[in-house]
Amino acid sequence: MKYRPVIIVLLLAQALLAFGCARRRAERDLQNGVDAFQQERWSDAAAFFTLAEEKHPGQVPVLMLRGVSYLKLARYAEAADDFDRVLVFQPENNEARKGRGEAFLGLGRYTEAAEDFSRALVSEPNDVNTRNNRGFALSNLGDFDAALADFDAALEIEPENPLIYYNRGAVRRKSGQMAEALEDVNRCVELDGGNAVFLAARGKAAAELGDLDAAMADFDKAVAENPNYFGGFKFRAEGYKALGRWQEAYDDCSRALELEPNDPELWFDRAAAAMQLGREADYDHDMAKYEELTR
């Protein structure tokens, strides 16, 4: 969740003030939570805020900070619950509404996310992060025209934000605008050339336009920049498959599966490589895993 620094400072101050008359132990839990939050120790922060909230329940700043901590930990259901509680106390709290929208994104509840972002944009129409988030939600609902309108509007406000180009490029790919998608991911890489996700996305677009040499160069760069990003290996494996380089495809699928073991496409692709390599036992194992994940 991308909060303006002033909002975070205000929430931290409000949280400390909220416990001005509380027992000393509750104050200590809160202070520990604030310290952990400022140090980005999100799990510790959430735990301390929970202790403080149990002793002095219903304090909006504490619920807000714990909700943000849960977002950082990808504990989206718990984050949504905290922002829900804030909105009961303060129905017009836009930061809580945006936070709940992000939690809904993480939960795949795109309709509710879009509704929260739309309401937030009524009072903050130039909030780039919220407009980008609504575009992402709308794209997952298949409303590509509305999503593109949000990304276009966000880029008018912040024309050098690579994430928005990345999201717009993804929607353009889905809607068959491949040349335009490549333009967007080119711009991503211009703005942040060391981002493995952007490099892999550009490679994917180049591959779909038939330029496999350029695609493989980008996949190689993505893997070099971030050897812990599974997408770089996954997409490079697809390139190796297209080139008939089955051992390399198998090896890249294996590395990607170490990083993302629940991706059924990776099990299927590695099974295909195993079959080409004459490894029937490995083929049977990987296909069984693929079928398990796609039931």
Position 58 confidence tier, pLDDT thresholds 50, 70, 90: confident
Domain locations in the chain? 1-107, 245-295
Question: What is the per-residue pLDDT across 228-241, written as a single tens digit (0 to 9) for each?
Answer: 999 999 999 999 99
CATH of domain 1-107: 1.25.40.10
Question: What is the per-residue pLDDT across 219-231, written as a single tens digit (0 to 9) for each?
Answer: 999 999 999 999 9
Whether residue 131 is predicted with pLDDT greater than 90 in this model: the reply is yes
pTM of the predicted protein model: 0.84
Position 24 confidence tier, pLDDT thresholds 50, 70, 90: low
* One-letter-per-residue 3-state SS of the chain: CCCCHHHHHHHHHHHHHHCCCCCHHHHHHHHHHHHHHHCCCHHHHHHHHHHHHHHCCCCHHHHHHHHHHHHHCCCHHHHHHHHHHHHHHCCCCHHHHHHHHHHHHHHCCHHHHHHHHHHHHHHCCCCHHHHHHHHHHHHHCCCHHHHHHHHHHHHHHCCCCHHHHHHHHHHHHHCCCHHHHHHHHHHHHHHCCCCHHHHHHHHHHHHHCCCHHHHHHHHHHHHHHCCCCHHHHHHHHHHHHHHCCHHHHHHHHHHHHHHCCCCHHHHHHHHHHHHHCCCHHHHHHHHHHHHHHCC
**Mean predicted confidence (pLDDT) in 175-201:** 95
Residue 13: the pLDDT is 58
Question: What is the per-residue pLDDT across 100-118, written as a single tens digit (0 to 9) for each?
Answer: 999 999 999 999 999 999 9
Position 21 confidence tier, pLDDT thresholds 50, 70, 90: very low
